[in-house]
Structure 1
Amino acid sequence: MPRTLLHASTLSLLLALLAACGTAPHKADPWSWPDGPAPVRRPFFDTSPHYPVPSPAEASRFLQQASFGPHPDEIATLTRSSYQRWLDEQFSLPQTLFLPEIEPEHVRLEKGKNLRQELFFRTFWKNAATAPDQLRQRVAFALSEIFVISFEGQLDVKIRGAASYWDMLGRNAFGDFRTLLEEVARHPMMGIYLSHLRNQKEDPARGRVPDENFAREIMQLFSIGLYELNPDGSLRLRDGQPVETYGMDDITGLARVFTGFSYGGPGTTDRHFNRQNEEPRWDILPMKGYPKFHSTSEKRFLGVVIPPQKTADPEGDLKIALDRLFNHPNVGPFFGRQLIQRLVTSNPSPAYVGRVTQAFNDNGAGVRGDMQAVIRAVLLDPEARSPAPQATGKLREPVLRLTQWMRAFDARSDSGNFLIPNTDNPANSLGQSPLRSPTVFNFYRPGYMPPGSEIAQRNLVAPEMQIVSESSVAGYANFMQTTIDAGVGRAENGKRDVRADYSAMAALAGQPARLLDQLDLLLTGQRLSAASRQRITEAMAAVPLPPGQGDAAERARINRVKLGILLVMVSPEYLVQK
């Protein structure tokens, strides 16, 4: 591909994403954070709109929201079916697991050695590109950005545990929220990450108090948020001011609930509480309560009072606490809005949030927290399927751009292992890797407003813009040029491990307008503007095609395809998913 065209496309991308940035102060909003057993299957009575059979563009757009990217065959299949049927089929598929990919390597591990994070990454990319249960995998990715753990820190070599955590998110993606919340709270990786594993009861004589970290974050980030909300996600006001959902006393009371939990397994001694090597599967077994280390003091939080106990009851106290959080009226709008943001749009209307909240509160059969009902409500809402022309959509996060390229062009791994390493570097890669958020607040806050931008002036949010910079924009464009041209991942025998198949597209290279039709369908859902179409078509047509069917002609056709893909994938219409 001509390098001069890369520079032009990079400049276009920079202008599209960064023109609005300035130095104005960040506007606060209710979604801004301070820095700093098998799932239950529930009946769901579908009250969502029943859409007609989708067009190819509509099918592509739906799959961009509900999967890691449309595949041409899946678009064709969906145009002969319906959204509802596709969801039913996805809900019924068995889960593609991470742990079976990791476990054999763990078993072979030499004593004193650790698994590398790359093992987790390659499993992620393999499943994102090839797993049939795309909806579950995509929702698990969304959940990983809400119920955050990260390799950054004490989990850097806990690869088997991280795989188990990811599988837990996937297992509960179609279950019920109450079970999800409990399995998050009990998972040893969360216990390490937010420091409530081996959290001990207070000891005034030693000046010891329970660790409050998880107690704070399970409220602030995982369930009810900072401020009381109406069902449509808007702030509840008292005397014109937002109402805080909890205070310091609630954190203190809830922190006592999360004392006495440590490594799972059959053992109950102090050694089992304190030492992970007493149980070889400590990193994948749910944490359990050890009464000796659990607070027996009174526990007050969110209007609940657990009176002082003669006999410590960590399991019973945990149930009371999680039931209270689960039944809090904030959970539906708080969680529902974030799931909309991760799958559909950064700025859902209050009515959209309200409809998702209604599905969370009651799936139609009197069941609260049915994840399948919530997912249906998010993906089948009129705003998701037929957005208004002025809809803001969402900036595609970098990881999803690479997965979409892999799926759109049938990328395959020579090794079969998708040997793609850490992609954190914003200067020469994606600037994002799965499960490597820098903090518990995710890669970006759900209420982030780019300072000084038109977005902020309109009191809208653009979460993914928080990881956008001049460096990341240029780095993405250069990374994608290399990836589209030569593939991605570890190189062996002069070839990168993961490479796309452009043969179907190359057959259209002699007709640049038709080729662009297909690229536009696969990548944007036919959203390219007339101006973008003209520029990209002219750029592809400028690549000369030698006559005949020889190797030179084939290379030229492939180069037209590669150039077209790059220019679409750096266009504003692609980068902003609508």
Structure 2
Amino acid sequence: MTVPSFINNKHLLWRAGFGPGINQLEDLENKDHNALLNDLFKEENFAEIDYQTAETESSDYMNDKSPAEKKKEIQKINRQQNEELNLNFLYKMVTSNEQLREKMTFFWHGHFASRVQNPKFNRQILNVIRKNALGNFRELLFEVSKAPAMLSFLNNQQNKKDHPNENFAREVMELFTMGRGNYTEKDIREGARAFTGWGYDKGGNFVERKKLHDEGSKNFLGKTGNFTGNDVLNIILEQKATSRFITAKIYKFFVNENADETIINTLSENFYQSGYDIKKLMTDIFSSSWFYDKKNIGNRIKSPIELMAGMMRMLPMNIQNPENLIVYQKLLGQMLLYPPNVAGWPTGKSWIDSSTLMLRLQIPQIWSGLRPLDYRPKADDDVDMGLKNNTNTLTKNFKNPNITIDWERVEKIFAGKKPEEYLIQNTKSLDMNSVKSFSDNSVKMNVINLMSTPEYQLM
């Protein structure tokens, strides 16, 4: 079975999406590689996410409550909406036909990292990122920079003439566009002056507060003028360092953490010349022969979200308590909407420590009901997005994940196949004798044991 197109198809589905779905096994074997690539780039009509949960503003019953009760009720609704958005995001990764859009959204969600409690702001910025995920980086940068979630997270609401706050300007350059070493402290100060007055109103709309804007002349990245925030972003996009920084980050995420400078230079130059066309950049990557080199296959540790989404795509399951999935995100160290800081999540070996590795290897058994969940989320140093449960509650609620897997369907689809060829990216280091020695030879136990190997952690 291990013919090159099969291996390449499997590699592509893991890198450009969240792994093959249970209904795609025939595609892996039989689909022409270019046809599979074209499918990944097909876009459906974009629809913004909305909340099913009640909106606090429209709740008439809030009028009868005391200020303390109102505050508590608002916190509760905020928590419910953030949970709803988190699960909606995860389910799109698992079920969407637009796998590449979801993978790019996941990437940009970590790149433009923000962490706020306001569910309206969270929804707005996620809609912006999803809409522009495969569009133009210039538009994505402008819209994200004007999103209340980002302006709030990076304190630009407090950025006023005579008292500039440099946080937003610094992170825009250091983390979102050019990277360190391509600007000076003076550029940060001057950039911050240009962003004075950028903020948002109570309704969550971007506003330029003219009275708070510094109208003076600024000297930014070698140019002089009475620059506004828009001017600064345009000057940043003129720098080839911006294209280089974004391309290198995308290469490390989608291809290999060990950068190939020659390839990155070529991709970056083409990205710059295209006017920052993200879709073209991703096409250049996924249609290149070097993307399918052996050294790029099975070399990346799956992030917790990639691990969970990949298992959910492969195992048809009914989840009675979906909020459980947020606890797993928390335990494994990657909670959607909740990056550790403005730099986003770390990658690679940082995902694995003694406690998370044990849980990663046990999830297939826990989700299959073969073992209880005996873990506690780590206490956070600040807001906890509603997961500050006491230990007893956690133990009681989450030992049973309430997941029912349709093993009959899995058995049927894997009949006559070797599950390891579909589940493991690099089967060379896999000891199938030890996998089989742990259980009977049923497809169910074979799949559970394969997903419990260190090799399944790689993609």
**TM-score, normalised with respect to structure 2:** 0.82
Look up the equivalent residue of 2:283 and give its one-letter code. Answer: R
Aligned to 2:290: 383
Aligned to 1:501: 406
CA distance in 2, matches of 1:161, 1:77: 39
Q: CA deviation at 1:104?
A: 5.5
CA distance in 1, matches of 2:146, 2:78: 23
Give the one of 196, 199, 219 matched to 1:300. Answer: 219
Aligned to 1:175: 135
Give the one of 253, 256, 259 matched to 1:348. Answer: 259
CA distance in 1, matches of 2:252, 2:437: 35
Aligned to 1:225: 179
Aligned to 2:353: 469
Give the one of 63, 72, 78 matched to 1:115. Answer: 78
Give the one of 449, 453, 458 matched to 1:567. Answer: 449
Contact (CA 8 Å) 2:368, 2:403: kept in 1 or not?
no
Structure 1 segment 143-542 matched on structure 2, within 5 A: 143-150=108-115, 155-156=116-117, 158-202=118-162, 209-226=163-180, 244-263=181-200, 276=202, 279=203, 282=204, 285=205, 287-307=206-226, 317-362=228-273, 367-388=274-295, 393-414=299-320, 420-425=325-330, 429-444=331-346, 463-485=347-369, 496-507=401-412, 517-518=418-419, 520-525=420-425, 527-529=426-428, 531-541=430-440
Look up the equivalent residue of 2:209 and give its one-letter code. Answer: Y
Q: CA deviation at 1:329?
A: 0.9
**Which is bigger in relative contact order (C-alpha 8 A, separation at least 6)?**
1
Look up the equivalent residue of 2:164 and give its one-letter code. Answer: P
Give the one of 67, 81, 89 matched to 1:124. Answer: 89
Q: CA deviation at 1:212?
A: 0.2
Unaligned runs of 5+ in 1: 1-52, 203-208, 227-243, 264-271, 308-315, 445-462, 544-556
Residue 531 and residue 420 in structure 1: after superposition, are their counterparts in 2 closer, same or farther (change >3 A)? closer
Unaligned runs of 5+ in 2: 63-69, 374-393
Deviations 1:342-377 (A, max 9, x none): 223211312331232133123xxxx32001011112
Aligned to 1:313: none
CA distance in 2, matches of 1:102, 1:96: 18
Q: CA deviation at 1:414?
A: 4.8
Look up the equivalent residue of 1:289 and give its one-letter code. Answer: E
CA-atom RMSD, angstroms?
A: 3.1
Deviations 1:536-561 (A, max 9, x none): 133334x6xxxxxxxxxxxxx4xx62
CA distance in 1, matches of 2:101, 2:403: 23
Structure 1 segment 3-42 matched on structure 2, within 5 A: none
Give 3-state SS (helix, strand or coil) of 2:134's partner: coil
Q: CA deviation at 1:496?
A: 4.3
Aligned residues: 420
Give 3-state SS (helix, strand or coil) of 1:423's partner: helix
Give 3-state SS (helix, strand or coil) of 2:19's partner: coil
Aligned to 1:45: none
CA distance in 2, matches of 1:89, 1:508: 22
CA distance in 1, matches of 2:364, 2:176: 34
Give 3-state SS (helix, strand or coil) of 2:187's partner: helix
Percent of aligned positions with the same letter in both sequences? 20
Look up the equivalent residue of 2:407 and give its one-letter code. Answer: Y
Q: Which has the higher helix share?
A: 2
Deviations 1:9-28 (A, max 9, x none): xxxxxxxxxxxxxxxxxxxx
Residue 296 and residue 475 in structure 1: after superposition, are their counterparts in 2 closer, same or farther (change >3 A)? same
Q: CA deviation at 1:488?
A: 11
Q: CA deviation at 1:288?
A: 2.5
Give 3-state SS (helix, strand or coil) of 1:436's partner: coil
Contact (CA 8 Å) 2:155, 2:168: kept in 1 or not?
yes
Contact (CA 8 Å) 1:339, 1:378: kept in 2 or not?
no
Contact (CA 8 Å) 1:102, 1:163: kept in 2 or not?
no
